[in-house]
């Protein structure tokens, strides 16, 4: 029998949430109407779009939907609203710490340039954190579809704003394009500037992409990383190094990486000792937020409340949250389990 403990009350950290993808569907519709943006039917039906991104055509469709949503973010107030609402949703789901991932170059044309865009985003994060009580920071992510020199520019910018709320440097988009090693210099700049390295890997391609993130980018976290389950030696390496995989179960199924929720190798990773931080990835497109990922682990993988609590602890320990914030969250996890 499944426990009645509410996973929304379980304190946790959220380490894998993309900026535009965090938007509420109702907010997207309002902003599209405000700016006269014609949205694809998949974004207006009220149901999560059916996405299969494991082939080129599917990934193109996914990107088209994401780009359509991003086109609705045009003014600083839109940014502030998105961040505030993302924080409210996370608080509702029990998150005490959120690291939201963003490529500011995507918003620069609308917001007056790269530096103004990042400053607007960081100001919005600071305001939302104060208003909601949620600890919030930013992971600046480069786009692996662009030139590695662009990534170096972003890495330098991210380091420059490390004292304003940037805690990490990522690498997103289709991991089937380009090599991780092409971005090694950008990640070296970020690491030397005190930022954690959190590239995507092991989602659309297999274990080799996770290994490349470890060897070439010296990743301290892996965005997704689930395909590491196909390589026992790689699992041991992740466990030994304590590299946290930001696993997004609902996203994996929606994008066709796995056919059914029970196919996502949560148990394999967990039993191998690989730290995990469950994440919602892009709730706008996948239809479920943070707490739902824990519920998925419970219902489809038989995770007990003690194991869910351990997943929450792993998310906290894998975060860039200050020691006092981590201690508070870890204490709260203990109270949830005792209650």
110, two tokens: 């609308």
In whole angstroms, what is the distance from residue 86 CA to residue 290 CA?
11
This model's pTM is above 0.85: yes
In whole angstroms, what is the distance from residue 130 CA to residue 228 CA?
38
294, two tokens: 């824990």
**Looking at the DSSP assignment, which residues form a beta bridge with residue 185?**
none
Long-range contacts of 179-182 (CB under 8 A, 24+ apart): 179/212, 179/216, 180/209, 180/212, 180/213, 180/216, 180/217, 181/212, 181/216, 182/148
pLDDT of residue 152: 98
pLDDT of residue 1: 47
Catalytic site positions: 203
| pLDDT tens, N- to C-terminus, the chain (339 residues) | 456 799 999 999 999 999 999 999 999 999 999 999 999 888 887 776 666 656 667 777 888 899 999 999 999 999 999 999 999 999 999 999 999 999 999 999 999 999 999 999 999 999 999 999 999 999 999 999 899 999 999 999 999 999 999 999 999 987 777 789 999 999 999 999 999 999 999 988 899 999 999 999 999 999 999 999 999 999 999 999 999 999 999 999 988 899 999 999 999 999 999 999 999 999 999 999 999 999 999 999 999 999 999 999 999 999 999 999 999 999 999 999 998
Q: Are 43 and 65 in contact (CB under 8 A)?
A: yes
Please, is 5 exposed, middle or buried when counting C-beta atoms within 10 Å of its C-beta (0-12, 13-18, 19+)? middle
- Strands (E) located in 10-121: 12-18, 95-102
Dihedral sign for Cα atoms in the order 39, 45, 47, 53: negative
Q: Which residues of 227-240 are buried (b: 16+ CB within 10 A; e: fewer)?
A: bbbebeebbebbee
pLDDT of residue 225: 96
* 16: helix, strand or coil: strand
Q: Where are the domains of the chain?
A: 7-338
In whole angstroms, what is the distance from residue 238 CA to residue 101 CA?
22
In whole angstroms, what is the distance from residue 159 CA to residue 204 CA?
29
In whole angstroms, what is the distance from residue 263 CA to residue 279 CA?
17
Instruction: Count CA atoms within 13 Å of residue 309 on its CB side.
Output: 15
Diameter of the chain measured on Cα atoms: 55
Class of domain 7-338 as given by CATH:
alpha beta
């Amino acid at each position: 029998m499944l426990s009645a403990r509410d996973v929304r009350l379980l304190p946790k950290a959220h380490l894998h949430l993309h900026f535009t993808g965090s938007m509420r569907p109702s907010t997207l519709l309002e902003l599209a109407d405000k700016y006269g943006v014609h949205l694809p039917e998949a974004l207006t039906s009220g149901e999560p779009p059916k996405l299969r991104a494991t082939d080129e055509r599917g990934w193109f469709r996914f990107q088209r939907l994401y780009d359509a949503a991003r086109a609705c973010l045009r003014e600083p107030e839109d940014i502030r609203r998105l961040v505030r609402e993302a924080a409210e949703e996370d608080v509702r789901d029990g998150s005490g710490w959120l690291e939201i991932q963003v490529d500011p170059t995507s918003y620069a044309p609308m917001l007056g340039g790269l530096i103004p865009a990042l400053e607007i985003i960081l100001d919005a994060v600071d305001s939302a954190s104060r208003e909601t009580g949620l600890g919030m920071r930013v992971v600046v992510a480069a786009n692996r579809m662009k030139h590695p020199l662009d990534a170096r520019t972003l890495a330098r910018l991210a380091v420059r704003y490390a004292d304003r709320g940037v805690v990490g440097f990522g690498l997103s988009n289709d991991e089937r394009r380009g090599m991780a090693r092409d971005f090694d210099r950008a990640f070296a700049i970020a690491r030397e500037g005190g930022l954690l390295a959190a590239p995507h890997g092991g989602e659309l391609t297999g274990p080799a992409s996770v290994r490349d993130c470890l060897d070439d980018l010296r990743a301290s976290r892996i965005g997704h990383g689930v395909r590491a389950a196909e390589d026992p030696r790689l699992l041991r390496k992740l466990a030994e190094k304590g590299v946290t995989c930001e696993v997004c179960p609902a996203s994996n199924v929606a994008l066709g990486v796995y056919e059914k929720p029970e196919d996502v190798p949560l148990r394999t990773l967990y039993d191998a000792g690989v730290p995990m931080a469950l994440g919602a990835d892009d709730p706008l497109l996948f239809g479920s937020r943070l707490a739902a990922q824990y519920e998925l682990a419970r219902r489809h993988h038989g995770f007990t409340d003690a194991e869910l609590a351990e997943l929450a602890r792993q998310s906290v320990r894998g975060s860039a949250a200050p020691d006092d914030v981590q201690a508070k969250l870890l204490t709260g996890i203990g109270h949830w389990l005792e209650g």
